[in-house]
Amino acid sequence: MSERVVVAMSGGVDSSLAAALLVEQGHEVVGITLALAGDASRCCSLADAEDARRVAERLGIRFYVANYRERFRREVIEAFADEYLAGRTPIPCVACNQRFKFHHLMERAAALGAERVATGHYARLERDPATGAPRLLRGRDRGKDQSYYLFDLRPEQLARIELPLGGLSKPEVRERARALGLATADKPESQEICFVPDGDYARVVEALRPDRLPGRGEIVDESGAVLGAHAGIHHFTVGQRRGLGLAADRRLYVKRLEPAANRVVVCDLDGLGVRSVRLERVSWIAGQPPEEPVRARVQVRYRHEGAPASVEPSPPSGAWLRFDEPVRAVAPGQAAVFYGGDESDAVLGGGWIAETEA
């Protein structure tokens, strides 16, 4: 059945092909570029909006640019800086997806009379044959799978979403885009956070919060012995080895950050392992937590291969993870995403890492 669908067009090949596939399926497609991070970023710039416009003209669809830069700065960039200063490792892509590429985009779609929204994410949506409820699954291309970033979407949002690229690999996407003559077919993609194009997170924090920088502090080992000094905890993340500035006879890693004391605690590799993790703001794809603990494979960062664990819901909106074996470098502020069964591609839910226990 033909529907009016709004597509978030970033100016890259993925969202370009997503729009093209929906046109092929007979839908009335409207392209919208969300202007978010500004022209210094590697996406969502004016140049990217122009690329998206060229694709829209090729496809013969309506196209708009929606300016969300001030809201993006408040809701994502400033929150990113505050998390680093609080000793956590933020993951702004989840907030960007939840608030902008879906929530705010859905508001725009409703104003345009559109029933559904679509993006170029590499993830899949299916209907539960028994209940008809939406199920979120990994993309077929495991190297590009982006389901980790979508765990926070609510059932009512998933019911209105299209993910046309979920069954394709990246080479297939480029090949089909070339065949359709899309201007973005061979456009390089960014691997960094859009508003940190050079990878220097500390510089962004310092520019946004110059009056709240922690200053110099101590680097200590697990016994509290002082090993050196640092220029601010926002320069460090859990699991970091390089850039510690320490002269030691063994490899040392950041075990935890203590913002109240302005300290960085380091350890050897074995000291990085944790077995239990407390989560907050847990979201379940089914809309509500299970009544009993569930077994899952849990990813504690985007490129983590996942580890078997028991997920124990903790009312009203928390959970505890109990890993079968210690998992290294679990960082507060990151997301832990649950995948059902030993090899299942289904996302059960996820939450935000609040604290860890060895």
Poorest-confidence range of 37-46, 277-286, 307-316?
37-46
Q: What is the model's pLDDT at position 43?
A: 62
Going by C-alpha positions, the residue among 275, 282, 284, 273 that lies closest to residue 329 is: 273
Tens digit of each residue's pLDDT (9 = 90 or more) over 314-340: 989 999 999 999 999 999 999 999 999
* Residue 266 scores a pLDDT above 70: yes
Give the integer Cα–Cα distance in Å for 205 and 184. Answer: 32
Residues whose CB falls within 8 Å of the CB of residue 287, separated by 6 or more in sequence, listed in order: 133, 154, 155
Mean pLDDT of the 40-51 span: 75
194 is catalytic: yes
Q: What is the model's pLDDT at position 343?
A: 61
Beta strands 318-328; 273-284: pairing state: antiparallel
Helices (H) and strands (E) in the chain, counts: 9, 17
Residues whose CB falls within 8 Å of the CB of residue 290, separated by 6 or more in sequence, listed in order: 284, 313
Beta strands 294-299; 273-284: pairing state: unpaired
DSSP H helical segments within the chain, as ranges? 13-24, 46-59, 69-72, 78-85, 92-95, 105-111, 155-158, 170-179, 201-208
Q: What is the model's pLDDT at position 41?
A: 57
Going by C-alpha positions, the residue among 11, 55, 28, 65 that lies closest to residue 194 is: 11
Calculate the average pLDDT of the chain: 93
Beta strands 307-314; 263-267: pairing state: unpaired
Task: Find where tokens 């059932």 sit.
Answer: 155
Tens digit of each residue's pLDDT (9 = 90 or more) over 181-205: 999 999 998 767 888 878 889 999 9
Amino acid sitting at position 61: I
**End-to-end Cα, the chain, rounded Å:** 53
What domains can you pick out in the chain, each with its CATH number?
Answer: 4-179 (3.40.50.620), 215-267 (2.30.30), 272-357 (2.40.30.10)
Q: Which of 43, 44, 93, 96 is the catalytic position?
A: 96
Q: Angle CA(53)–CA(57)–CA(59) in degrees, nearest 5? A: 115
* Residue 267 scores a pLDDT above 70: yes
Q: How confident is the model at residue 44 (pLDDT cuts 50, 70, 90)?
A: low
Q: Which of 44, 93, 194, 267 is the catalytic position?
A: 194
- Token digits for 194? 């859009």
- Whole-prediction pTM value? 0.93
Q: What is the model's pLDDT at position 130?
A: 81
Q: What is the model's pLDDT at position 129?
A: 83
Q: What is the model's pLDDT at position 158?
A: 94
> Cis omega before residue 316 (within 30°)?
yes
Residue 255 is inside which H or E element, if any? strand 253-258
* Residue 208 scores a pLDDT above 80: yes
96 is catalytic: yes
Poorest-confidence range of 43-57, 70-84, 283-297?
43-57
Question: Can you spell out the DSSP letters for 76-110?
Answer: IIHHHHHHHHTT----HHHHIIIIIIIIIHHHHHH
* Residue 93 scores a pLDDT above 90: no
Query: How distant, in Å, are the alpha carbons of 100, 251, 275 from that of 47?
Result: 20, 44, 46
Amino acid sitting at position 328: R
* Residue 11 scores a pLDDT above 60: yes
Beta strands 273-284; 116-118: pairing state: unpaired
